[in-house]
């Protein structure tokens, strides 16, 4: 099974999932997930009958069904950085400046018990971590819904799926692509326009 995934997470990095069973049942009844199975010691779920409607694939980008599956992470004590090798530096929401020192700022934020505001080198504004624009290449959260087998930029969550997540968890959601590969051809291939 592929290691690429589309990661959905609450916009608020401190959000906790109060009732995982309720969320899983909502995802099952809406058709995103099917039966459960063990994968690397964790509980995963097969793609449900409406997976392809709730996740909008770009033309020529839909993977084989056996690659698609879903997992829900347990809520961690503190927010964690969920990015991967494909993560790009975040942008300042005020001036669109790039946080080229994002790794150092992330470490300082962790050391200071997640209270530190990130400082934009371009405009000098202090920014809360949840305000950073990662351009769908990274994020911070205490839990996530991982849609496995989706290559970088190959699909986006539908408005229906995001609305369901918000309604069940009472949190706004965001997403990013978790990609461990380094093959530049995959980036070009993923730029195919939506159908």
CATH number, residue 173: 3.30.310
The per-residue pLDDT for range 78-98, each reduced to its tens digit, is: 999 988 777 899 999 999 999
171 pLDDT tier (thresholds 50, 70, 90): very high
Asked if residue 31 is part of any domain, the answer here is: yes
| Per-range mean pLDDT, top range of 18-27, 33-42, 102-111, 182-191 | 18-27
Residues 6+ apart with CB under 8 A from 26: 164, 168
Do 63 and 152 fall within a single domain? yes
Residue 62 confidence (pLDDT): 67
Do 62 and 101 fall within a single domain? no
Asked if residue 46 is part of any domain, the answer here is: yes
Residues 6+ apart with CB under 8 A from 159: none
> Of 123, 153, 148, which is closest to residue 137 (Cα–Cα)?
153
Distance CA 171, CA 149 (A): 25
Residues 6+ apart with CB under 8 A from 167: none
Do 52 and 118 fall within a single domain? no
Please answer whether residues 90 and 128 qualify as being in contact, where contact means their C-beta atoms are separated by less than 8 angstroms: no
Residue 187 confidence (pLDDT): 39
Asked if residue 153 is part of any domain, the answer here is: yes
Do 29 and 98 fall within a single domain? no
- Give residue 48's Cα distance to chain centre: 19
193 pLDDT tier (thresholds 50, 70, 90): very low
> 191 pLDDT exceeds 80?
no
Residue 195 confidence (pLDDT): 34
Q: What percentage of the chain has pLDDT greater than the value 90?
A: 63
> 182 pLDDT exceeds 60?
no
Asked if residue 63 is part of any domain, the answer here is: yes
> 190 pLDDT exceeds 80?
no
Give 98's DSSP letter: B
Do 120 and 140 fall within a single domain? no
Total domains in the chain come to 2
């Amino acid at each position: 099974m592929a290691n690429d995934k589309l990661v959905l997470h609450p916009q608020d990095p401190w959000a906790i999932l109060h009732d995982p069973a309720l969320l899983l049942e909502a995802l099952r009844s809406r058709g995103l997930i099917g039966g459960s199975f063990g994968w690397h010691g964790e509980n995963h779920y097969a793609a449900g009958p409406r997976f392809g409607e709730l996740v909008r694939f770009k033309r020529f980008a839909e993977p084989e069904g056996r690659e698609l599956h879903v997992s829900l992470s347990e809520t961690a004590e503190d927010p964690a950085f969920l990015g991967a090798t494909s993560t790009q530096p975040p942008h300042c929401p005020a001036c669109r400046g790039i946080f080229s020192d994002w790794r150092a700022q992330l470490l300082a934020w962790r050391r200071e018990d997640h209270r530190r505001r990130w400082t934009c080198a371009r405009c000098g504004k202090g920014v809360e971590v949840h305000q950073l624009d990662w351009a769908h290449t990274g994020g911070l959260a205490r839990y996530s819904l991982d849609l496995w087998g989706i290559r970088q930029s190959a699909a986006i969550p539908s408005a229906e799926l995001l609305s369901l997540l918000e309604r069940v968890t009472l949190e706004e959601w965001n997403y990013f692509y978790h990609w461990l590969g380094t093959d530049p051809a995959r980036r070009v291939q993923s730029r195919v326009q939506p159908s």
